[in-house]
Structure 1
Amino acid sequence: MRTLVLGAGATGGYLGARLLAAGREVTFLARPATADRLSLEGLQIRGVDGVTHSHLLPSVVTADELRSPCDLVVVAVCGNALPDAVKDVAAAVGPHTQVVPLLNGMAHLDTLVDAFGAGAVLGATARLAATLLPHGVIVEQAVGATLELGRPGAPGENPAVEAVRRELSVDGIAVRVVEDIRSAMWAKWVFIAASTVLTCLGGARVGDVAAAPGGPGLVDAVVTEVSAVAGADGHAGDPAALVRGLSDPSSGFVPSMTRELWAGRPVEVEVLDELAALARRRGLASPLLDAARVRLRLGREPRPVG
């Protein structure tokens, strides 16, 4: 199966490297500057132990070099880059191509279905902990990745979905097909939003916030607010389980948006913007979500006055 990966950041780069290491036929689609870097320096992954280091030289093309459809297109870009991504991958999407978007939120599904048709687009979630450093090295914070796949609105066995599952199932990537992929995507989105709001406003790891005076109340308020938006869209999930997970005082978890904030790197705040916009459409108040969005945009350093 010929696979095209759009996005060589923490998610696309990590998954692409795992696929290459397993002998899969993978090509990266990149902007010229990134293509030059990958061609010269390759994909560099630093293991969670800080010592293990893999260095792979992938096949790389730019959008104007795409000549024929691929069997599988993995889209791993930020949400604000999706419109350009749709145009860039168009030549790689043929009658039998399957598109797997690894974006958070839900709006990207409609964008991709409008462009390529419902039969070409899968829903997906990706759970991995990795960070892209400014010089291009991807640092693994936890070993491996887990993917969930499914055809939105079409539960049940599907040969195309199963073929994608087999192709992506390599050492270090666990893949499962789920019946209700929209609910799975919502569950991940709610978790990301709640944990980001909690750690962003609390200024500490999940466990430290939960253990602080007032922390349990903040956890309850954040989960209630975020889960209300999901519930209004028909995907209430399990708020009680989320509260339990975010109330563990031993948890050292920090979501990626908060890690990027603390590191002074760009943050994909659009993931929270989409949720806040949905809250407004449903007539729901989201003061904690909005406060975190402000904090993420302004960055960790206070702005000068006057």
Structure 2
Amino acid sequence: MKIVVMGAGAVGCYFGGMLARVGHEVTLVARPVHVEAIRREGLVIERADGIHRVSLAATEDPAAVAGADLVLFCVKSTDTEIAGETIRPHLGPSTAIWSLQNGVDNAERLAATLGRPVSASVVYVAAGMAGPGHVRHHGRGELIVEPGPGNEDFAAAFTAAALPVTVSGEVAGALWTKLVINCAYNAISAIAELPYGVFVAEPGVPDMMRDVVDECSAVASASGILLPDDLWEKVRAIASTMEGQMSSTAMDLARGRPTEIDHLNGYVVARGAAVGIATPVNRALLLLVKLRETAAAGVGRSFRPARPRPSHRPS
């Protein structure tokens, strides 16, 4: 199959690289620094079973989607419409599109931009870029994707590449479940600059996370979304299965880039306002991350607090 990854960061590089390893024709549309490294030395995939170097195509040009059987759309939620516009003129009539993005509404937003169906999917993988053209895999690597033309065949191809895919009509609930997990972990990891397994051990943090989950659950229920009964157990389990993982929000802040917080805790806050549900803990985390974004952008670095004036009061 000819597969193009649009927005090949850690998730896109990992899935694209694993598919290329088993012989699929994969092109990564990525940032220049990664494109140059991949063209020069191939894509490096670092996994528990060793370091693998994979030869595949890489480019900065979104026109690479032309002729693709499948496009894996992996850009940040903040860039969905802009990136969608860049590929729209080049898509073939039979090209399938999967949204592998955080948040719950990206597939819908992308479909509106492209004027064609987009399959929503839920991604479960822990990975990060260890350097240009070098992706480090920390765990998992499966997908849930909604039904669509050809999706069963694509799912079989992914599964054969050690990327298990389930085709399911219950993607909306799974997307919301992942959203709740992201809301519970991403902002705290970014604010504290700590991995999951460290900050959950701090007294009071699990209680705050439970408040986040309860707010998200109330908003989901008011929105007609059915979440699993064991949601809190699923949330807590992440600290064990991804103990050393830093959130994508933390990594964006570290690189001085805008985060997806508006599409995580920010989405819950906005949706909560629309359905009449108060979300004070999510709102606090949203605002704290926005302040960290401002600091990361260098705003206010020239500020110096005024020196206290000497007191002339009698002693």
In the superposition, the TM-score normalised over structure 1's length comes to 0.82
In structure 2, how many angstroms separate the alpha carbons of the residues matched to 1:47 and 1:66? Answer: 28
Query: Which of residues 161, 174, 192 is equivalent to 2:164?
Result: 174
Kindly state the Cα deviation for residue 146 of structure 1 after the two structures are TM-superposed. 0.5
In structure 1, the gaps of 5 or more residues are: 152-157
> Is 1:63–1:88's contact at 8 Å kept on the other side of the alignment?
no
Does 1:38 find its partner at 2:38?
Answer: yes
Tell me the amino acid that sits aligned with residue 13 of structure 2: G
Q: 243-252 or 90-99: which moved more?
A: 243-252
Give how far 1:249 is off: 11
In the alignment of these two chains, the number of paired residues is 295
Is the 1:7–1:30 contact (alpha carbons within 8 Å) kept by the matching residues of 2?
yes
Report the Cα offset of residue 203 of structure 1. 6.7
**TM-score when normalising by structure 2:** 0.80
SS in 1 for 2:224: coil
The separation in 1 between residues aligned to 2:7 and 2:234, in whole angstroms, is 31
How far the C-alpha of 1:258 sits from its partner, in A, is 5.7
Counterpart contact for 2:185–2:196, Cα < 8 Å: yes
Give how far 1:37 is off. 3.4
Q: 2:263 aligns with which of 258, 265, 271?
A: 271
1:78/1:122 CA distance change after superposition, 3 Å: same
In the other structure, the counterpart of 2:313 is none
Which residue pairs with 1:145 in the alignment? 141
Partner of 2:213: 223
Distance in 1 (CA, whole Å) between partners of 2:94 and 2:70 is 9
Q: Which moved more, 1:266-275 or 1:122-131?
A: 266-275
The whole-number CA distance in structure 2 between the counterparts of 1:121 and 1:249 is 28
Output one character per residue of 1:86-120: Cα deviation in whole Å (capped at 9) or x when no partner.
Answer: 122224422211100101112212222223345x3
Q: Equivalents in 2 of 1:45, 1:31: separation in Å?
A: 17
Closer, same or farther: CA 66–145 of 1 in aligned 2, 3 Å: closer
CA contact (8 A) 2:72 2:99 kept: yes
SS at match of 1:219: helix
Structure 1 counterpart of 2:44, one-letter code: Q
Structure 1 Cα separation of the partners of residues 239 and 14 of structure 2: 28
SS of residue paired to 2:278:
coil
**Paired-residue identity, %:** 26
Does 2:251 correspond to 1:260? yes
Shift in alpha-carbon separation, 1:236–1:179, aligned structure 2, 3 A: closer
Counterparts of 2:94 and 2:52, CA distance in 1 = 33
Q: Which residue of 2 aligns with 1:154?
A: none
Q: Are the aligned partners of 2:4 and 2:28 in contact in 1 as well (CA < 8 Å)?
A: yes
2:5 is aligned with 1:5: yes
1:211 is displaced (CA, Å) by: 4.8
Tell me which structure has the larger Cα radius of gyration.
Answer: 2
Moved more, 170-179 or 245-254: 245-254
The structural deviation recorded for 1:268 is 3.1
Structure 1 residues 261 and 71, CA gap change in structure 2 (3 angstroms): closer
The 1-side partners of 2:71 and 2:238 are apart by 40
